[in-house]
Structure 1
Amino acid sequence: MTLIMDRALLEIDDNARDVHFEDESCVGYDHDSQHVAITTMYNRCGTKQEQDKENVIFTNKVTFYKPSPENGTIITREHYLHIPVTCNLKRTQILGESFLPKTEQYVFHEERYGEFSLRMERYDSSNFQTPANDSGRVTLGTPLYFGIHLASVTNLTLLIESCWATGSSDPMDDHRYDIIENGCAIDSTTYIHAGFPQTFKTFTIAAFAFIGEYDRVYVHCSILICDNNDSGSRCTQGCLSRSRRSLQPAGYRSKPHTITSGPLSDASRSSRAMLFDTADGGPEYQDLLMTVAVSALCVLFSLTVIMALVIVRMCRHRRPELIGYQRVDNTE
């Protein structure tokens, strides 16, 4: 977190290093000619962390003290200048990813609040190292590998509380298929992986398509953020089956954050769509249809003429027999 202060309010000279956090080794620097800035990571320079039901709260104190003697004496009546600093991070966000992902990072920010980011990305294998590069066109039944990142915040962890798919980019679309619920995989092909860092969670699902007029699949996930040091948080409980849902976590948890990305499409369906596109394809599509139609008519006309010529020729070759010529005797 970074605090930018008006130099005039601090009443300092040119040395921005006279400003520091609780940890006096964390000093300020010149932001510009009129401002002084001071920066710290969330777990450095004496920064303290607290939590409530909606926020993760980081606090520190900026101090400036450079006493000057009073009236040439050896005493001073100047005070420390203390500036309390608070950075609130909202704990609830919504993340999403889709079968046709154009992955972007979702950064959450409010004025006078800090910021952090949640990002969901699709990978090409179960090692979750290389992002998928298939333009979102996938083959039904093949495994799809999704990973969710939490960045910019220390001592936090995340839980994939629920995931679902829709035929549109709207997470609230009634036409939906549930994948993960209460931290548990409910789709038979879904597997939630373990063994990754606290800020990176992953799951796998076999590719599918919606029945009917839906050529896209969007995946949405609801994410909870917890204190990694809180052994009673919702994130540490993981999957809550029906028999365990009555157990309420003792620690704090965030409200759900939802992100969405997509869409994914069936590769075979996409190929068919290229052959049978809609009339909304524009002038080029209309020109193509006209060219195909005219060409077909020309071929049909040519075949008709050829067949007519063949029939006429066959008739001429058979004409003597059809008329019934007979040899007659010659007389003198």
Structure 2
Amino acid sequence: MRCVVVKVKKPKVPPKSHVICNESSMTILVEKATLPPVNEDDLQLNDPSNTDCNLKSNSTHIFCVVPLSQCGTQIKEDDDNLVFTNEITTSEGTNDMITRKNLLEVEFSCKYPKRGNVSQNFSVHRKNITVFEKGMGEFTYTFEFYEDDSYQDMIDPESYPLEVTMESKLFMKIEATSSLDNTELFVESCRASPYDNPNYHKTYSIITDGCNVDPTVNVYPIANKNHFEFSMEAFKFIGTYEQVYISCSVIMCEAGNLNTRCSQGCMKSPSSPLFVKRETAIQSGKHSVSQGPLRLKRSAENSNSSAIALNLAFIAGCVLAAAGMILGVVMYKAKASKI
């Protein structure tokens, strides 16, 4: 004899949600009535450090407008589409890195075709990012390009995407405005990508662990600890990529405190990560700022070469056509004489 025990459980029904895909963002709406019993304050996106990534709610829904380049949005691609994905999860509050409750996972995504017709104008210039952290207050990051190393004339946001020539100097400035006086800015890393997403797999390192990686990078020493000015030579990605975005990971610290990442500077062989107690609030988490796109300007030499090549091709075509016509006339006359 055999005894078979069958446990019948209520099937787990996923929450009802709706996603709206826009040009530069995804809007997620989740029905409250379909959610498990969770605290709304414990719900978060992949990267909740930016105030733009905070989930909002009304009497019926939990919702958020998620920028495609922020909030930990991941990007994947195939031959025809770009897919942007994010997720609403439950945070335990004591540790932002992991969770073992796993009470809620709502993954949402938007798919965009790589090829299409653009019929509407929109601004490609990246806006300022405002962040609030407990104990550190509120601070705003600005990332802009400038005309020269005097950093007096900022390039007009309306002129984006910026057209640059190969190996020309790019002058960039990251600025942090904080509600606290005794703070300093540290740029931990910078990298370039063909898309405005630091998580895209094809990236080129410019600064890593506070150290210059690209040989053309030049960091300018300045008195203001909340400014970071640097330059590098323009380049393009090999292949069919037509644009370049620059993304940087930045940290805000208590100025002059030797126990912060800012005070350590360049770490070519970092050992264990710096341990900072949350209650001390001497430094912020890492935040991502980006700017672009940059596009390679076609030089006059290349344009002239293309025009010459087109003219030569046209002349060669005319010569071949004329030769064909003459040959046809000769053959016709030969046949006529035989008749």
Higher relative contact order (CA 8 A, sep 6+): 1
Larger Rg: 1
TM-score, scaled to structure 1: 0.48
Q: TM-score, normalised by structure 2?
A: 0.47
